Amino acid sequence: MKIINFISVYPTIELTKEIIEFLNKNSDAITATSAIIITFLAIKGVKEWQLQTKGKTNYEIARRYLKAILKLRDEIKYVRNPLITFSEMETALKESGFESETYKDNMKTNVAVYSRRWKSVRKAWTNLEAELLEVEVSWGIEAVKVSTPLIDSTKKLYWALQSFLNNNHKNDIESIEDLIYDKGNSETPDVFFSDILNNIGKIKEFLKPHLL
């Protein structure tokens, strides 16, 4: 209301002169205030940008971490598949330098097939280790330790396969086969794969805050 009265008293030209005169007299104060405001907004903008960038970076790291974990899970499931098709035998034997007729030799066939399957596990495992370096740099060693049980299970499977392929399992055949053969299904996984899934569940829980 005061502004309306002020305008009604002074003509537009006079009001403009008053504003110009005020700005001239207080230009230094206005400039300083503007500088403070601009600086404050700039700092606030930088901080918000840093928070957004950090959040995006953490999200990407968590996403790659989880993707590497799930890839390893899938390859472990694949290598434990007890079904070996003739096509897989033939391909594995050829890649190992054997004749296709060698499939009649169970030992050579197993070595060829499981060696080929394990290449995929090793690739997934290597990729996970690369991601864990970034995870440790960004979040510390505790973020790496949460994956240790899964990696230990992978190592356990590797040594079980080695024992099986080298025929060093005669006295422990049941426990070896429990590791290398998947005896469960999608609804009821076996003991070994249940451990794998439980370990992955803990990793997912750890990553949840970074994936929101």
pLDDT by residue (tens digit) across 120-172? 999 999 999 999 999 999 999 999 999 999 999 999 999 999 998 888 766 67
Report CA-CA distances (Å) from 80 to 41, 67, 184: 58, 20, 11
Report CA-CA distances (Å) from 173 to 114, 170, 190: 17, 5, 17
Measure the CA–CA gap between 111 and 103, rounded to whole angstroms: 11
Q: What is the pLDDT of residue 99?
A: 72
Calculated CA dihedral for residues 29, 35, 39, 40, nearest 10 degrees: 30
- DSSP summary character for residue 147: T
Q: Which of 101, 65, 83 is nearest to 200 (CA)?
A: 65
Q: What is the pLDDT of residue 182?
A: 95
φ/ψ bin of 140: left (φ > 0), alpha (ψ from -120 to 50), beta (otherwise): left
Q: What is the pLDDT of residue 55?
A: 52
Q: ∠ CA(75), CA(176), CA(201), 5° rounding?
A: 45
Low-confidence ranges of the chain (pLDDT < 70): 1-56, 100-103, 169-171, 173
Q: Which residues contact 112 (CB under 8 A, 6 or more apart)?
A: 89, 92, 93, 95, 96, 98, 102
If 0-12 CB within 10 Å is exposed, 13-18 middle and 19+ buried, where does residue 88 land?
A: middle
Report CA-CA distances (Å) from 174 to 121, 154, 193: 23, 19, 16
Helices 148-165/27-79 angle, 10° precision: 20
Q: What is the pLDDT of residue 46?
A: 46
